[in-house]
């Protein structure tokens, strides 16, 4: 954080970064639950021609997607799985608490490693924000995919997002975006700190900068194996998934934020891209 040391408890001298909630900043910067649910419905409909009702969100964090999922339909249920108790508790206080009591009852939270089997099984298992990249060997990923498959209903799909392109390998590259303008606004910085081409290890950080110049520097950090689309699809097949599909974004001239996602076996070379992989049980 920027700024000189202040006396503890003297709120008058605290910077905006001192007062900021990193989880709230993260959700406003990174997560779009409505968009995710729209895509989940599309992918499931294209796989099984029906509506999905149960969701398991692995690496769920503050489980905003789980909460929006149950709010989207009175029959929908969600299971959120994460190892971090602090993050889950924040979600209980800030996301779950906003739901109606009947909706809250349809959200189940599990503080555990995602590499465990749970019941009931789900129609959709989501592992978003590149979270499974924490597993750095083929054996670890395949083990996780096998367990994820076992946590799905017979008509189930697993959804992951992926990123890539030459710019993603550039060290010390920082993507800066303004999330909210004005005195109460802030900026989001995505830092690509390092990439090792020998083993594909990569480190990324998220920082936030505020109107008074103060920063929450490296509020979140990620140390991943940078997996590629063909590697992931091969491992999904080895784990027993029947098929997998890549969904590439077709830009919408009328919507700067989101386009249309379509299955594709061919995509243009792009210096920085994001896509979905959908695996069918």
Considering its fold, how many domains does the chain have in total?
2
66 occurs within a structural domain: yes
Whether 260 and 186 share a structural domain? no
Whether 206 and 148 share a structural domain? no
Q: At 35, phi and psi to the nearest 5?
A: -65, -45
CATH of the domain at 94: 3.40.50.150
Whether 153 and 173 share a structural domain? no
What would the pLDDT profile of 22-81 be if each residue is shown by its tens digit? Answer: 999 999 999 999 999 999 999 999 999 999 999 999 999 999 999 999 999 999 999 999
pLDDT band at 86 (very low <50, low <70, confident <90, very high): very high
107 occurs within a structural domain: yes
Whether 35 and 92 share a structural domain? yes
Whether 159 and 258 share a structural domain? yes
Sign for the pseudo-dihedral over CA of 68, 72, 74, 78: negative
User: Looking at the whole model, is its pTM more than 0.85?
Assistant: yes
- 178: closest CA among 34, 35, 25, 31? 25
252 occurs within a structural domain: yes
What token pair was written down for 104?
């809250």
17: enclosing H helix or E strand = helix 16-19
Peptide bond into 120 cis (omega under 30): yes
In terms of DSSP H, where are the helices of 31-63?
A: 33-48
Contact by Cβ (8 Å): 112, 83: yes
List the single range of 1-15, 34-48, 136-150, 246-260 with lowest mean pLDDT. Answer: 1-15
The predicted model gives 202-213 an average pLDDT of 94
3 occurs within a structural domain: no
What is the extent of the structural domain holding 108?
27-163+228-280
Whether 48 and 156 share a structural domain? yes
pLDDT attached to residue 122: 98
Max Cα-Cα span within the chain: 61
Whether 252 and 269 share a structural domain? yes
What token pair was written down for 74?
């009175």
255 occurs within a structural domain: yes
Whether 194 and 76 share a structural domain? no
135 occurs within a structural domain: yes
Query: What does the radius of gyration of the chain's CA atoms come to, in whole angstroms?
Result: 19
266 occurs within a structural domain: yes
What's the mean pLDDT when you consider all of the chain?
A: 92
pLDDT band at 130 (very low <50, low <70, confident <90, very high): very high
């Amino acid at each position: 954080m920027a700024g000189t040391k202040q006396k503890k408890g003297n709120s008058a001298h605290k910077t905006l970064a001192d007062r900021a909630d990193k989880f709230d900043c993260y959700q406003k910067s990174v997560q779009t639950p409505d968009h995710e649910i729209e895509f989940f419905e599309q992918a499931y409909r294209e796989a099984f021609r029906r509506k999905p009702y149960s969701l398991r969100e692995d690496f769920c964090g503050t489980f905003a997607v789980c909460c929006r999922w149950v709010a989207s339909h009175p029959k929908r249920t969600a299971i959120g799985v994460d190892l971090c108790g602090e993050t889950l508790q924040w979600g209980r206080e800030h996301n779950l608490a906003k739901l109606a009591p009947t909706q809250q009852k349809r959200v189940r939270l599990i503080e555990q490693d995602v590499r465990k089997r749970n019941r009931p099984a789900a129609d959709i298992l989501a592992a978003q924000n590149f979270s499974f990249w924490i597993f750095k060997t083929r054996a670890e990923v395949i083990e996780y995919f096998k367990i994820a498959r076992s946590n799905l209903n017979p008509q189930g799909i697993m959804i992951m997002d992926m990123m890539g392109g030459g710019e993603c390998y550039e060290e010390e590259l920082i993507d800066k975006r303004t999330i909210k303008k004005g005195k109460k606004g802030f900026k989001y910085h995505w830092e690509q700190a390092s990439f090792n081409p020998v083993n594909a290890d990569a480190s990324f950080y998220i920082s936030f900068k505020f109107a008074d110049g103060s920063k929450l520097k490296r509020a979140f950090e990620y140390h991943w194996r940078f997996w590629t689309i063909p590697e992931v699809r091969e491992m999904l097949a080895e784990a027993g998934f029947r098929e997998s599909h890549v969904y590439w974004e077709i830009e919408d001239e009328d919507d700067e934020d989101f386009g249309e996602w379509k299955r594709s076996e061919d995509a243009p070379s792009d210096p920085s891209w994001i896509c979905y992989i959908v695996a069918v049980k």
